[in-house]
């Protein structure tokens, strides 16, 4: 049976917007020695906005936004929502066969062409090169803490020529020649995809993030790290502004889980704070998974042991305090 002190700890937490799913997690929270934070939506607000669009070749900035929006229109990712919002007054229709790849990007078919939007590593799998000029601009933006996603579009190989949905969008779109179809035995080729531009997104660091990190250190948490799927430069910039000096960037969801495992070997009781589908494996692996209640995806909320109902990071210190006070009283 749950002891009265645990119950009052849980009730106390609930009153302050901290949802403990059960009493043992309240106790566990008091023992945490290392904490891993996701970046986007956790240390930052997750309210992502398009900051700058840079087009390549003959494409316009509007072309870049439009083409990206065709695939992002089905995205649940904050990046996707921001792009769609910025493209709302432009004329485009949703792509078909859209597939989101967590932690990497999104892909689909628009106007008989493949559309690829995502981080550099992901887009690089589909194009021959990232234009050098744009790479330079990307580095500068990333050092300022902006997230850069690349937009590419290109030929469909032998799939070209099927169904002509969604044509009205880009008057600028160059149809790839349906006549030069490769041998029917060869797989669909993506080699003709080309980068048409990049989109830099801004996402503000939560106002209370730096103070919360400082408070957790003061409470004796030995190790605080950041885990993100975003690139290293962007991650370093955000980490520096909140006072975290250990950063693991360009991680896939499974990589986040691996870092948690490694931390557990050294620190035993490890908390993970996250909001996304991409954080779910790490939230499940952590001794204590903590989800952001507002920014959090359904999967994160289900997987977590503790939910910060109002996304207020400072409640982490409150939760730790409640956890510690529950110790020694419960047998
Ligand atoms: P984080 O760990 O910071 O929450 P994610 O793991 O969700 O970030 O995403 C990592 C990176 O993958 C993003 O910074 C972005 O470059 C790319 N990415 C993920 N989803 C999308 C999407 N829907 N559109 C474009 N890029 C995406
Ligand atoms: Mg996130």
Question: Is there a domain that residue 162 lies in?
Answer: yes
Say if residue 78 is in the same domain as residue 131. yes
Task: Place 171 in a pLDDT band, splitting at 50, 70 and 90.
Answer: very low
| Rounded Cα distance, 286 and 299, in Å | 15
Q: Residue 259: which domain range? A: 4-44+206-326
- The minimum-distance atom of ligand 1 relative to the CA of 83 is 24
Check which CATH number belongs to the domain holding 17 and give it. Answer: 3.40.50.1000
Instruction: For 304, list phi and psi in degrees, rounded to 5.
Output: -70, 155
In a domain? residue 287: yes
pLDDT at 160 over 70: no
Centroid of ligand 2 to alpha carbon of 105 (angstroms): 14
Q: Same domain, yes or no, for 146 and 68?
A: yes
Residue 157's domain is classified under what CATH number?
3.40.1110.10
Q: What is the pTM of this model?
A: 0.81
Which residues, judged by CB distance below 6 Å to any ligand atom, belong to the binding site of ligand 1?
38-41, 72, 75, 77, 79-80, 100, 103-106, 117-119, 147, 149, 228-230, 276, 278
Active site amino acids: 38
User: Is residue 331 included in any domain, yes or no?
Assistant: no
What confidence score (pLDDT) does residue 67 get?
Answer: 98
Q: 63 and 34 share a domain?
A: no
Mean pLDDT of the chain: 88
pLDDT in tens, 43-58: 999 889 999 999 999 9
Give yes or no: residues 138 and 250 share one domain. Answer: no
User: Does the pLDDT value for residue 75 go beyond 80?
Assistant: yes
Q: Domain check: are 15 and 83 in the same one? A: no
Q: How many domains does the chain have?
A: 2
The β-bridge relationship of strands 306-308 and 288-292 is parallel
Last residue of a domain, one of 172, 202, 232: 202
- Helices then strands, counting H and E runs in the chain, come out as 12, 13
Encode pLDDT of 202-254 as tens digits: 999 999 999 999 999 999 999 999 999 999 999 999 999 999 999 999 999 89
More confident residue, 172 or 253: 253
pLDDT > 90? residue 98: yes
Q: Which ligand is nearest to the CA of 227?
A: 1
Is residue 219 in some structural domain? yes
On whether both 91 and 172 belong to a single domain, the answer is yes
List CB-based neighbours of ion ligand 2 within 5 Å: 38, 40-41, 275-276
Domain final position from 186, 202, 218: 202
Q: Which of 219, 327, 271 is nearest to 32 (CA)?
A: 271
What is the interface pTM, i.e. ipTM, of the complex? 0.96
Angle at 83 (CA atoms; ends 175, 169), nearest 5 degrees: 30
What is the pLDDT at residue 185? 46
């Amino acid at each position: 049976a749950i002891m009265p002190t645990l119950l009052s700890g849980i009730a106390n937490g609930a009153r302050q917007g901290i949802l403990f799913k059960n009493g043992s997690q309240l106790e566990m929270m008091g023992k945490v020695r290392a904490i891993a934070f996701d970046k986007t939506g956790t240390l930052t607000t997750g309210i992502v906005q398009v900051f700058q669009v840079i087009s390549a070749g003959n494409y316009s900035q509007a072309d870049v936004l439009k083409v990206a929006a065709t695939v992002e229109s089905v995205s649940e990712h904050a990046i996707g929502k921001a792009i769609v919002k910025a493209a709302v007054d432009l004329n485009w229709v949703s792509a078909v066969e859209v597939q989101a790849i967590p932690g990497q990007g999104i892909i689909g078919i628009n106007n008989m062409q493949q559309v690829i939007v995502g981080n550099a590593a992901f887009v690089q799998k589909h194009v021959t090169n990232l234009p050098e000029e744009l790479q330079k601009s990307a580095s500068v933006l990333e050092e300022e803490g902006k997230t850069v996603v690349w937009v590419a579009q290109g030929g469909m190989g032998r799939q070209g020529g099927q169904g002509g949905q969604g044509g009205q969008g880009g008057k600028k779109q160059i149809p790839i020649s349906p006549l030069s179809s490769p041998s029917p035995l060869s797989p669909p080729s993506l080699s003709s995809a080309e980068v048409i531009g990049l989109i830099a997104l801004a996402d503000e660091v939560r106002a209370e993030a730096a103070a919360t990190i400082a408070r957790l250190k003061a409470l004796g948490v030995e190790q605080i790290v950041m885990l993100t799927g975003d690139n290293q430069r962007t991650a370093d910039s955000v980490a520096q502004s909140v006072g975290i000096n250990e950063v693991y960037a360009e991680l896939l969801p499974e990589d986040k889980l691996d870092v948690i495992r490694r931390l557990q070997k050294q620190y035993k009781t490890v908390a993970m704070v996250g909001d996304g589908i991409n954080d779910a494996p790490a939230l499940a692996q952590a001794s204590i998974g903590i989800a952001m209640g507002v920014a959090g995806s359904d999967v994160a909320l289900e997987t977590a042991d503790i939910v910060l109902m109002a996304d207020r990071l400072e409640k982490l210190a409150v939760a730790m305090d409640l956890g510690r006070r529950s110790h020694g009283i419960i047998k």
